[in-house]
Structure 1
Amino acid sequence: MANMRVLLVDDDADLCTMQAEYLATEGFDADAVFDGEAGVHAALTGSYAAVVLDVMMPRLGGIDALRQIRAQSQVPVIMLTAKGDGIDRIVGLELGADDYIPKPCMPRELVARLRAILRRTQGSDSHTPQHAGPLSLFPEYRRAEWNGVPLELTNSEFQLLEILVSAGGRVLTKNELCERGLGRPHTRYDRSVDVHMSNLRQKLGNYPDGRSPIQTVRGVGYRLAND
């Protein structure tokens, strides 16, 4: 995981400097830009393994920057949100953010989240396609298809879908999905898994009888239904 290039997008130059210095001690090369427009341009160059994007910035805010990035790229994105601002977190996840961290955040937590995302997106050594009815996953290429039609999934969405397929219809708790899919424990008010599952339902097709392949098991978690 050493020497991975990370893009920091935040108008707080001092914070970026501190984060970049800490990331360097952990084996990352970090570049910083200080507004959303520059962040979008840099993120779309394909030079970075991950992007850390602040929500609150002048000119072009983080949410709009994320929207523009996702229109052209699936590079992993971690959003930095104001502590307690659940709306920004949910909107960011709905638009395709892979994870979020409330500010102020500890540099150690940022490193842990980055490593978790990069393990998921670059650590798969499986070459065997997985199939569940009309759904096909190709882990080696991080690609998914529904009835042969490619799906535009974020890295976190792909990871969660892969976990559901591997479970073979078994119900997975939110904590299992959060730990294995997002690389962190599930907390009481964390809606990340729910938002990702909602996004997946919208992107996947339905079975002929109208059912979604992703079923909610109330009070427990989610399962992938058989067609």
Structure 2
Amino acid sequence: MSTFNNKLAIVTGGNSGIGFATAKELIANGAKVIITGRRKEAIEKAAEELGAIPFVADQGKLEDIESFKTEVENQFGKVDILFINAGITGTLNSIENMDSENFDQVMNINFRGAYFTLSKFTPLLNDGASVVFLSSNVATTFKPNSSVYQASKAALNSIAKTAAAELAPRKIRVNMVNPGPTKTEIMTKAGLDEKTLKGLDAWLTDLIPLKKMGTAEDVAKAVVYLSDNNVASFMTGTEILIDGGMIL
């Protein structure tokens, strides 16, 4: 397939999980893909496996976003697809007991970093480009002990819709994918051991009408769909929910 021949795509947080799966899908459809990540060894290993271009950049640091933008502009010029994917769950706790360090870390990566990634890269986007944010179905839920993560994703969806309105005159489409529970490494990175992860998977699966967890590939296909001007040219400001019916 060659849907994205001669197209340059950026995937932040592309060394694992949904980012990795999306980069793989974009490359399979002909795109040249740049992936970013915080860990040099991990991002270079993933890039080699994918056939992607690696950049070490932390979405939580504005100086990294700025230097990454400058490098892309100098080496490649314009961008056709921007998938702002990098994010963390942080630690779960009640509002009463939430610590400011966790709040700042989650918001710096999930919201502030995503916001300024779009801000800095907007001048590099070709007219008719596609921007996709990785959000979550928790953006519209209010479960106890998840206030910071939920708020970061709700804020993300808000700015995505504003961006869709601002960029519409340039035919740049801005959309969101809102996955439910998805089998990725994010919970392991949150510090959960294998026994706890299995228990969490079982509990979540029981809450999902389709009785299964989503996969990174499920989400990747939706991102690629939204990025394709041949099939999604009339879609902007749209949230695609991928959660097996969890919020029904």
Q: TM-score, normalised by structure 1?
A: 0.44
Higher strand proportion: 1
**Higher helix proportion (structure 1 or 2):** 2
User: Higher relative CO (CA 8 A, sep ≥ 6), structure 1 or 2?
Assistant: 2
